[in-house]
Structure 1
Amino acid sequence: MEKLLITGATGFVGGRLARALAGRYELLTPGRAELDLLDAGGIARYLRAGRPAFVVHAAALADTGYCEAHPQESEAVNLRAPEALAVACAGVGAKLVVFSSDQVYNGTELAGPLPETAPLAPVNVYGRHKLEAERRVLAACPGAVCLRASWMYDLPVQGLKNSTGLPGRLYGAALGGRPLALNPLEWRGVSWVGGLTERFEAVLQLPGGVYNAGAENALNSLETGRAMAARLGLPENTVCAVRDPRPRNLAMDTAKLRAFDIELGNTLDGFARCLREYGL
């Protein structure tokens, strides 16, 4: 059985990947005491000792506001750690998969679903560090796969770290009696994490490069929120438009991923699949 290392295995994405891949690989899920991702030398020693065939880097500092206020910490976690992993993976011949983000598109003036080749100029610290991490990872380890993930969610699962994303915010707004303000000029995919984890063995076989890895979505964020709220049976006033809407396009074109028979679908279809998975 091949060894597969997951960083951030106690996190939202990493924990679900570990559960989905259990029994198919010999999983290595080190905690910080075993593998300090801020120690490049320690990373290299760990990989030389463990010799994983695959490394999935799911650990990140993903709070964009926190990264903006703490840029040095973001640089260490979101840029230097994946770069060190790439160098170490190249040294032992391990296949590396790194999670990037749709935030690399934040700031584009292009319309429509964005391909991986779109010119980029991220407007926040998190997005800039993720984009530079992609470049450095592929320079050090050309066979690595960088997944630009969209905003992901899942329903609560016992024993795993949870992030309910937009559906959770909708429920919170309905319960609190205060509408959730969403932008009618924003376009982005909102993805059920299960759509990706169930296809992850195919992801591990992808050729090196950057891939958009989230649900496609032709709706704006206000329309998306309204459609999800209706599917959940929540009141129409659960969502409202923001008072000062500003254009923002993070919608991704996933044709490159689909060419390898990895289909993540669209936002509303994925939401319906999520609810069916949990019997709702």
Structure 2
Amino acid sequence: MDTAPARLSPILVVGRSGQLATALGRADRSDIHCLGRPDIDFDRPETLAAAFAALSPALVVNAAAWTAVDAAESDPEGAARANRDGPALLARLCAERGIPLIHVSTDYVFDGTKGAPYVESDPISPRTVYGRSKAEGERAILAAHGRAIILRTAWVYSPYGRNFVRTMLNAGMKNPVLRVVGDQLGNPTSADDLADAILAIIDRIDRTGWRDDYAGLFHAAGGGETTWHGLAVAALREAAKAGQPMPEVLAIGTADWPTPAARPQDSRLDCTRLHDVFGIRLPDWRDGVARSVARLMAVPAA
């Protein structure tokens, strides 16, 4: 059942220094409050209740997560606290206040063997500690709160913080030849574009009030698809336009670049439901890469 619209303000963004939290914090909205450690710390649950009491948010965006995929393999308890227990507590606090929660999840909840883009109703089968912790977080949130929106995204990059695009640009400045995995498929996603999508969802709720079809799982990733090799080449070509030398980029197989955590071979996400419900499509990943690289090349590396 629809409810009467009300301005969703203030907005609490859990997370402060990550790519998505940084992008949301840069938005032209004075009512967005980004809180990270020590103000909000999933390892200290009491900080969440204190932040809610101090801010009285009308909506919460959880942009905090354990995203160190390989490190999670050796610390499953830490990954679970960050990706399951903390978000579950957030969902309960939001449910107590009757406010929406927007939570960001990952393509790693899938095993990558479908051979076609995943839709929200596809069964999940995570292959890593990270993926399992995120899947458990999804289940806990949906069980705790009927006004939770979970956005699965993938391959996030931006001009901020550590990410694949920035790593490739740095490597390209130092090495004439790079070797990049070319047999994994996915949807590179600009953190800025994902932030815009989240703000558009908030604006939609502002206009319509909460609707039951807003709840649940949505895929929110950049338009189009490529491999890590394709993403590296696109980023380096953009950097070359600004004068950085263009290295040779060789495509290698997953087996040639072993990692502690197995990567999904094909984790493409079908984002149709996001458009059908909210009228939102994220821009093509190549556009986001061009914008991110332009910003990186215009300012000194942090």
Please indicate the TM-score interval, normalised by the length of the shorter structure. Answer: 0.7 to 0.9
Q: Which runs of 5+ in 2 are unaligned?
A: 1-6, 206-212, 257-262
Q: Which moved more, 1:86-95 or 1:29-38?
A: 29-38
The reply to whether residue 231 of structure 1 matches residue 245 of structure 2 is no
Q: Give distance in 2, aligned partners of 1:177 and 1:167.
A: 15
Higher relative contact order (CA 8 A, sep 6+): 2
Query: Which residue matches 2:71?
Result: 66
State the match for 2:285 in structure 1.
267
Say whether residues 1:167 and 2:165 are aligned partners: yes
Residues paired across the two proteins, number? 271
Structure 2 residue aligned with 1:121, among 120, 125, 130?
125
Equivalent of 2:268 in 251, 255, 259: 251
> 1:42-86 deviations in whole A, cap 9, x for unaligned?
534542453210111111111011111111111111110000110
Distance between the aligned counterparts of 1:90 and 1:279, measured in 2?
43
- Aligned-pair Cα RMSD in Å: 2.6
Task: Say yes or no: does 1:14 pair with 2:31.
Answer: no
Instruction: Quickly say closer, same or farther: Cα 1:92–1:266, change in 2 above 3 A.
Output: same
How many angstroms apart in 2 are the aligned matches of 1:145 and 1:255?
Answer: 15
Mapped contact 2:154–2:188 kept (Cα < 8 A): yes
User: 1:108·1:120 contact (CA, 8 Å) conserved in 2?
Assistant: no
- Contact 1:230 1:236 (8 Å CA) reproduced: no
Q: Is the 8 A contact 1:54 1:95 kept in 2?
A: yes
1:3 equivalent in structure 2: 10
8 Å contact 2:223–2:281 — kept in the other structure? no
**How far does residue 15 in structure 1 lie from its aligned partner after superposition?**
2.2
**What SS does structure 2 have at the residue aligned with 1:14?**
helix
2:137 pairs with 1:133 = yes
TM norm structure 1: 0.86
2:146 match: secondary structure: coil
CA-to-partner distance for each residue in 1:1-29, whole Å, 9 max, x for gaps?
Answer: 71111111233221221221532x2x333
Partner of 2:259: none
Query: Is the CA contact (8 Å cut-off) linking 2:184 and 2:228 kept in structure 1?
Result: yes
Q: 1:229 to 1:49 in 2, by over 3 A?
A: closer
Q: Helix, strand or coil for the counterpart of 2:78?
A: helix
Structure 1: runs of 5+ lacking an equivalent: 157-161
In the TM superposition, what is the alpha-carbon distance from 1:230 to its structure 2 partner?
2.7
Match among 176, 194, 197 for residue 196 of structure 1: 194
- Percent identity between the aligned chains? 25
- Alignment-mate amino acid for residue 251 of structure 1: R
User: Residues 95 and 266 (structure 1 numbering): CA distance in 2 closer, same or farther, change over 3 Å?
Assistant: same
Please report how far the alpha carbon of residue 131 of structure 1 lies from its aligned counterpart in structure 2 after TM superposition: 0.9
Instruction: Find the residue that maps to 1:240 and give its secondary structure.
Output: strand
Instruction: Give the Cα–Cα distance (whole angstroms) in 2 for the partners of residues 170 and 182 of structure 1.
Output: 9
For residue 267 of structure 2, what is the amino acid of its counterpart?
L
For the Cα contact (< 8 Å) 1:115–1:212, is it kept in 2?
yes
Q: 1:273 to 1:262 in 2, by over 3 A?
A: farther
Equivalent of 1:187 in 185, 188, 196:
185
Q: Does 1:241 align with 2:252?
A: yes
Q: Is the 8 A contact 1:68 1:125 kept in 2?
A: yes
**Separation of aligned partners in 2, 1:179 and 1:258:** 40
Deviation at 1:191, TM superposition (A): 1.5
Contact 2:41–2:47 under 8 Å retained in 1: yes
CA–CA distance in structure 1, aligned partners of residues 168 and 11 of structure 2: 36
- Does residue 112 of the first structure (1) align with residue 116 of the second (2)? yes
Normalising to structure 2: TM-score of the pair? 0.80
Following the alignment from structure 2 to structure 1, what is the Cα–Cα distance between the partners of residues 38 and 239? 42
Deviation at 1:279, TM superposition (A): 8.7
Counterpart check, 1:211 vs 2:211: no
